[in-house]
């Protein structure tokens, strides 16, 4: 190791040393010794305060030696699991501090957009939904999601309809998934080629991206100008999924939904199917031996799904 390397490492660590020392003094003596630090180090009082705060917010086992103190300062206000998520991303992607700051800013903007979407008035008249029921419910995604218990689903499956406002649709799905998935649960969302980017940004603002799955489209392209015969499904999770990714990647099922449902859930899990259409995915969930809760904003779709599933009165 050269002298220059040693000096660079010491420079990167100096704010940790100061912050840990001030924090130790506060915890041990009840006095963070700011006056002594001002004389010894020559930093501004606000800098010393920030050093102590970052050291307090980020325990040593969450610190990444390959990242600068500045990277850690950017995430210090987050909850511990979020700190780890963003520090890992910065390390794996070799982000500078400014790139990490921009990513966090984009995340905050996406969350504010999601909040704005979800503040729209919910449809009235939807009855309370039992925690362990398996209905096909007519209502907006927001209205249904607000009446379901939080953290109650192991999996969300969604093949949403084409829309002129994909940002609003996928932002609403992201909000619903964060609210309804249990820790470790997954959401699989089919996305058309032109909507993949919008869907990814919306879901990544609140969930962990895990993989993109592709499988053949059994009926061919939905639009004449789309030449791909593959359907893209984005896989995000609320924590680490229980499935080895190779089991999905190497599978060429003609109808993948029952297989994926079985693999990504455990016995007793319920599966939420928003935008259920006429019930094809709901039927697949039943074939996998899981209990679906489905919803669609179109009343005719709900009626058709009930008939398909034998639930019509």
pLDDT value of position 93 = 86
Q: Any idea which of 127-141, 151-165, 197-211, 240-254 has the lowest mean pLDDT?
A: 240-254
Judged on CB neighbours under 10 Å (0-12, 13-18, 19+), 302 is buried
> Does residue 244 have a pLDDT over 70?
no
Q: Any idea which of 122-131, 161-170, 291-300 has the lowest mean pLDDT?
A: 122-131
Per DSSP bridges, beta strands 153-158 and 270-274 are parallel
pLDDT value of position 112 = 59
Q: Which of 129, 234, 242, 105 minimizes the C-alpha distance to 180?
A: 129
Q: With bands split at pLDDT 50, 70 and 90, how would you rate the model's confidence at 134?
A: low
What would the mean pLDDT of 221-247 be, rounded to a whole number? Answer: 63
Q: Which class would CATH give 126-308?
A: alpha beta
32 vs 157 pLDDT, higher one: 157
Backbone angles phi, psi at 231, to 5 degrees: -105, 130
Q: With bands split at pLDDT 50, 70 and 90, how would you rate the model's confidence at 105?
A: confident
User: Using CA atoms, how far apart are residues 297 and 149, in angstroms rounded to an integer?
Assistant: 20
pTM above 0.85, yes or no: no
Strand (E) positions, the chain?
A: 136-138, 153-158, 181-191, 208-216, 230-237, 270-274, 291-296
> Does residue 254 have a pLDDT over 60?
no
What would the mean pLDDT of 130-138 be, rounded to a whole number? Answer: 63
Q: Which residues of 86-107 are buried (b: 16+ CB within 10 A; e: fewer)?
A: bbebbeeeebebeebbebbeeb
- Give tens-digit pLDDT for 65-93: 899 999 999 998 888 988 998 999 889 88
> Does residue 163 have a pLDDT over 60?
yes
- Give tens-digit pLDDT for 43-73: 888 888 888 889 999 998 999 989 999 999 9
> Does residue 211 have a pLDDT over 60?
yes
pLDDT value of position 47 = 83
Sheet holding 136-138, edge to edge: 136-138, 291-296, 270-274, 153-158, 181-191, 230-237, 208-216
User: Using CA atoms, how far apart are residues 117 and 58, in angstroms rounded to an integer?
Assistant: 33
Q: What angle do CA 147, 198, 260 make, to 5 degrees?
A: 65
What would the mean pLDDT of 258-270 be, rounded to a whole number? Answer: 83
- Give tens-digit pLDDT for 7-30: 455 556 788 888 888 888 888 777
Q: What angle do CA 208, 209, 211 make, to 5 degrees?
A: 145
pLDDT value of position 2 = 60
pLDDT value of position 202 = 87
> Torsion over CA of 103, 105, 106 and 108, rounded to 10 degrees?
130
Give me the residue spans of the domains in the chain: 3-88, 126-308
């Amino acid at each position: 190791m050269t002298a220059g390397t040693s000096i660079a490492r010491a420079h990167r660590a100096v704010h940790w040393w100061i912050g840990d020392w001030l924090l130790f003094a506060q915890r041990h003596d009840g006095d963070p010794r700011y006056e002594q630090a001002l004389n010894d180090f020559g930093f501004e009082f606000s800098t010393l305060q920030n050093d102590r705060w970052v050291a307090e917010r980020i325990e040593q086992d969450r610190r990444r030696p390959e990242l600068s103190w500045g990277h850690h300062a950017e995430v210090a206000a987050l909850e511990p699991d979020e700190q780890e998520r963003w520090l890992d991303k910065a390390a794996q992607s070799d982000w500078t501090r400014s790139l990490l700051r921009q990513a966090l800013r984009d995340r905050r903007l996406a969350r504010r957009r999601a909040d704005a979407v979800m503040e729209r008035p919910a449809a009235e008249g939807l009855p309370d939904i039992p925690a362990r029921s398996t209905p096909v419910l007519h209502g907006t995604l927001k209205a249904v999601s607000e009446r379901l218990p939080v953290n109650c689903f192991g999996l969300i499956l969604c093949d949403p309809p084409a829309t002129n406002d994909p940002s609003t649709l996928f932002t609403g799905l992201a909000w619903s998934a964060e609210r309804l998935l249990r820790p470790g649960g997954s959401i699989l969302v089919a996305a058309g080629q032109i909507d993949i980017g919008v869907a990814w940004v919306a879901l990544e603002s609140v969930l962990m991206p895990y993989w993109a799955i592709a499988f053949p489209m059994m009926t061919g392209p939905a639009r004449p100008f789309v030449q791909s015969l593959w359907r893209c499904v984005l896989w995000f999770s609320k924590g680490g999924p229980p499935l080895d990714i190779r089991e999905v990647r190497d599978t060429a099922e003609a109808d993948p939904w029952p297989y994926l449902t079985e693999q990504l859930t455990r016995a007793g899990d319920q599966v939420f199917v928003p935008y259920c259409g006429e019930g094809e995915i709901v039927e697949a969930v039943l074939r996998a031996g899981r209990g679906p809760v489905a919803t669609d904003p179109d009343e005719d779709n709900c009626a058709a799904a009930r008939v398909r599933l034998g639930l019509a009165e």
